[in-house]
Structure 1
């Protein structure tokens, strides 16, 4: 089962016992459960009163909870999701293949609320994007930086509402193509807001390319090599080759995703950025990265 399609076909065809065995073997479910009352290992038994058809059961005679049943979803991603495992896994597969929520709903014929619940739980497992321990760039490496506005114009609207405006600082590591990206919501574009973020995420000695925004003018005093391009006259500095084309490309991808979702509400933009950066930084192995996320609770 090397591809998403092969995995989905297995999930569709497998009975509950085979699926549970597969999930345990691949660390999506715990393969052992300790009774919280007596500390003995419970036994996996048939249990008709839940959607899984199986449960853990304590069979220690001296235990106060003798013959009590426990969900086999304990300490796993599936815990708290009261729908069939098959549907949860198929939602994750389609999400990992970048299908839209509407497409998932159409293909699986399940409620939008169920899809949202599963995806929301998954996004909650995505770690914040932070390169402090392994910073972007480095001596001789190019890093491009620019800000962007996350709202977009709807076809039937005119302009953008000021109270709906959200700015983001975006940073990309570039070496012929974009290697890694970072994005963070910012309250303003002042130097004392931007510089600390840059210093936390970008290694000293990096070559930083930006436009001529005044907030970047002192970057050279923070042990960076700073070059600029004036977009009023050119997109590529004809003398140094400095440009912000990679960061603009990232902005385009970011805004394309916002448009596909028909906008992202102000209160969800920070979570959206975290989700999108995780996708972009793992885009060559996104599906497997999603599967790794749901192993973290096992």
Structure 2
């Protein structure tokens, strides 16, 4: 299975040729296994074309009725990359290689690599849109906000300050994350209600926008970071270490890449949320989003 491949060495060893990759992608339902001729409606045959395949409908041994690319009707239909190159990009992106590392290994421009990363993050955005609320009956959900300094196109002196609001369910490890225009209660509370089950217990710092959360959830406990890391309330040890660790994981690739475009930030957040929520099944979830419907 493609999702079980976690290195270029594994991919090359198991699927050394373009035709091997074609069969792999067919088995994953990422390429069509059959094709109909657009002219006559007959079934087409899969034929060799150079190092790859194409679909052909033949009138006779010497005359074609029509032909189709092996990529037709698939996620790959508009790419000029070979299927081997495209699959390498997917594998390396899933393993969190940088754009420059992917470009060098696959032999493509960094612009092409960035375009592909954008395509793959769009799948993450669609996947994220299917998620329900985190938390549940007495689940502890830690919430917090953080500031990201994004750069236009990842370069230059000018920066944008983007506030991100999010939370993590201690029991399941599931997260949510949204960019917000400000940190007012009128913005944060509706987002919290939309993303966290009301039966949850919420842990936060003492930011004033959280002052009325007991009205919307089973309970709400706070920790004052000016004086303590953990607030002991009976048997509860109230802290936000989990969500603060989440912010560290989020910011790490941004620091390595010297920021990103503010316009692309939402898609990066979606990728992060999917990686956090899908865990070892992340690459499979992306593959599922690419399957031919």
* Shorter-chain TM-score tier: 0.7 to 0.9
Q: TM-score, normalised by structure 1?
A: 0.85
Q: Do structure 1's residue 211 and structure 2's residue 205 form an aligned pair? A: yes
Deviations 1:227-264 (A, max 9, x none): 11111111110334111110000011111121022101
Alignment check: 8 A CA contact 1:43 1:56 kept: yes
Q: Do structure 1's residue 72 and structure 2's residue 74 form an aligned pair? A: no
Alignment check: 8 A CA contact 1:130 1:201 kept: no
Secondary structure of 2:174's aligned partner: strand
Alignment check: 8 A CA contact 1:144 1:171 kept: yes
Deviations 1:42-66 (A, max 9, x none): 2222345xxx6421123469xxxx6
Alignment check: 8 A CA contact 2:55 2:69 kept: yes
- Trace 1:1-298 onto structure 2 (pairs within 5 A): 2-5=4-7, 6-11=10-15, 13-14=16-17, 16-48=18-50, 53-59=52-58, 67-126=65-124, 127=126, 129-130=128-129, 134-151=132-149, 164-175=160-171, 179-239=173-233, 240-294=236-290, 296-297=291-292
Q: TM-score, normalised by structure 2?
A: 0.86
Alignment check: 8 A CA contact 1:105 1:111 kept: yes
Distance in 2 (CA, whole Å) between partners of 1:238 and 1:152 is: 37
Alignment check: 8 A CA contact 2:31 2:74 kept: yes
Aligned residues: 279
C-alpha change, 1:8 and 1:124, in structure 2 (3 Å) is farther
Alignment check: 8 A CA contact 2:184 2:209 kept: yes
Distance in 2 (CA, whole Å) between partners of 1:200 and 1:60 is: 59
Alignment check: 8 A CA contact 1:169 1:184 kept: yes
Secondary structure of 1:264's aligned partner: coil
For residue 130 of structure 1, report the CA deviation from its aligned partner: 4.5
For residue 166 of structure 1, report the CA deviation from its aligned partner: 0.6
Alignment check: 8 A CA contact 1:29 1:73 kept: yes
Alignment check: 8 A CA contact 1:148 1:168 kept: yes
Structure 2: which 5+ runs fail to align?
Answer: 152-156
Alignment check: 8 A CA contact 1:207 1:224 kept: yes
C-alpha change, 1:121 and 1:152, in structure 2 (3 Å) is closer
Distance in 2 (CA, whole Å) between partners of 1:216 and 1:88 is: 46
Distance in 2 (CA, whole Å) between partners of 1:112 and 1:106 is: 9
Bigger strand fraction: 2
The residue aligned with 2:154 is none
Secondary structure of 2:203's aligned partner: strand
Alignment check: 8 A CA contact 2:103 2:113 kept: yes
C-alpha change, 1:152 and 1:56, in structure 2 (3 Å) is closer
